[in-house]
Amino acid sequence: MASTYDAVVIGGGPGGYVCAIRLAQHGKKTLVVERDKLGGVCLNVGCIPSKALIHASKVYRKAKDGAAMGIDARDLRIDFARTVAWKDGITGKLSGGIGQLLKGNKVDVMVGSARFDGPGRLRVTKADGTEQTVHFADAVLATGSTPIQIPGFVYDQVHILDSTGALALQAVPESMAILGGGVIGLELGDVFARIGTCVTVVEALDRLLASMDPDLVRPVQSKQAKLGVQHLLGHKAVRWSKTADGKVDLVVTDKAGAEVHVVVDKVLVAVGRRPNSKDLGLETIGLQPDAKGFVVVDKQQRTAVPHVYAIGDVVGQPMLAHKASAEGEVAAEAIAGKPGASFDHLVIPNVVYTDPEIATVGPMLYELEAAGRKVKTGRFHFAALGRAMTAHATEGFARVIADEKTGVIVGVQVVGAEASELIAAAGLAVEMAATAQDIALTIHAHPTLAEALLEAAHAATGHPLHQIK
């Protein structure tokens, strides 16, 4: 049986389903092919479930640490299986919602694995092994990414877990080693440390979250250390074996090659993700990914092959859901022939949901320095902010970075409570080419955490208000 569509989107994650909705709204007869659940990694086994567990673990920890506020929670306990079930309820509801959205926009959904079978043709293999041919005018690759595997550390989801396995645990492990001190390693490290797991983070580089300015990472690292997290920096995992009592004897080496044994219940591997560009039959349409497996695209998300577009993790960093969605909208507009469709990298907020949260928009300071860009900065510490004190969350700071000459904001960085929410206003400021003075002249509600941005903007203009020069 064969069917014909104007546009086919392979992958129903935040890139693919958004692209499909827009395609249908532009009048295209559209199909989404998804082999698993709608919503992709982000909704089902990534952003949303991790944020649910981050929230639950914070509620637990806040109650446990509430003595200073007169809260006595000595008998507090967590039923982790119920926490995970609550999280699964949220992802189920959201995934169902996407199904409704697609249906409401008259987008067809086919469950199965798609492979190109020559130009303009796809073959979809369904779970029962049957195959269906789909003809299309335009196709969008939105196939996402998969956790990288370290040789010798095969994911069995019992001893060696990827993030999906870690988010599905039914009980709190007594101990866990996390390979990789990047975004996933620190976010999930926080979750398990907060609910009582003894966490060791093994990071190959000399620092955590290496792409961030170091002063943004420092408050996170020290809060983790206070929770008892051990950071083995400059260490690499080399092998593991099972102990007599079923634990994992993990062997890591330092830079000099000296071995250290870490015995834990679970090992979570979070050393990055690779693009899903294999087994798609790309050779049948003459599309060759780059050496790292990424599909190269132009500003309209076009690949080198006419009528084939690509969006999201499969086209490269940053691997972020909101970047994928934005690219999906651009691809849909390009396919529909709308003038002016173009992906702009200027404002892609980056949020790390650690405690405190880190949120940035625009380049890092070290990147600006390396590029020889002349900037002025203003910074304000949450410790001096009334609202932060009342929220019992005084770690961190906000920093506004502005062009030295024009005052136009180049970037904003926040490490502190609710940084993930505060960064939205900063993104708008950069997008609108606002100056530090514009933010300083904007009346902010008091008392709010957003005043950290206001005060940092005042400082960037050279006229700090609630801090001494």
Residues acting as catalytic residues: 446
Told to check if 271 binds ligand NAI by CB under 6 A, we report yes
Handedness of CA 251, 253, 259, 260 (dihedral sign): negative
- Count the Cβ atoms, other than its own, within 10 Å of residue 331: 32
The pair of structure tokens assigned to 197 is: 């797991």
Among 181, 189, 275, 356, binds ligand NAI (CB under 6 A): 181
- Single out the segment in contact with ligand NAI by CB under 6 A; choices: 2-10, 270-278, 296-304, 407-415: 270-278
| Distance of closest approach, residue 377 Cβ to ligand NAI, in angstroms | 24
- Single out the segment in contact with ligand NAI by CB under 6 A; choices: 66-74, 98-106, 174-182, 384-392: 174-182
Told to check if 427 binds ligand NAI by CB under 6 A, we report no
| Distance of closest approach, residue 419 Cβ to ligand NAI, in angstroms | 11
Restricted to residues 230-269, the positions that interact with ligand NAI (CB under 6 A) are 236-237
The pair of structure tokens assigned to 257 is: 């090659």
Q: List Cα–Cα distances, 84 to 96, 168, 196, in angstroms.
A: 18, 7, 16
CA distance 224 to 133: 52
Among 165, 180, 396, 411, binds ligand NAI (CB under 6 A): 180
Among 161, 320, 436, 459, binds ligand NAI (CB under 6 A): 320
Told to check if 272 binds ligand NAI by CB under 6 A, we report yes
| Distance of closest approach, residue 79 Cβ to ligand NAI, in angstroms | 25
Told to check if 203 binds ligand NAI by CB under 6 A, we report yes
| Distance of closest approach, residue 313 Cβ to ligand NAI, in angstroms | 8
Answer left, alpha or beta for residue 79, where phi above 0 means left and psi between -120 and 50 means alpha. beta
Told to check if 348 binds ligand NAI by CB under 6 A, we report no
Told to check if 187 binds ligand NAI by CB under 6 A, we report yes
Told to check if 312 binds ligand NAI by CB under 6 A, we report no
- In the complex, the residues that contact ligand NAI under the rule CB under 6 A are 150, 179-185, 187, 202-205, 210, 236-237, 270-273, 318-320, 351-353
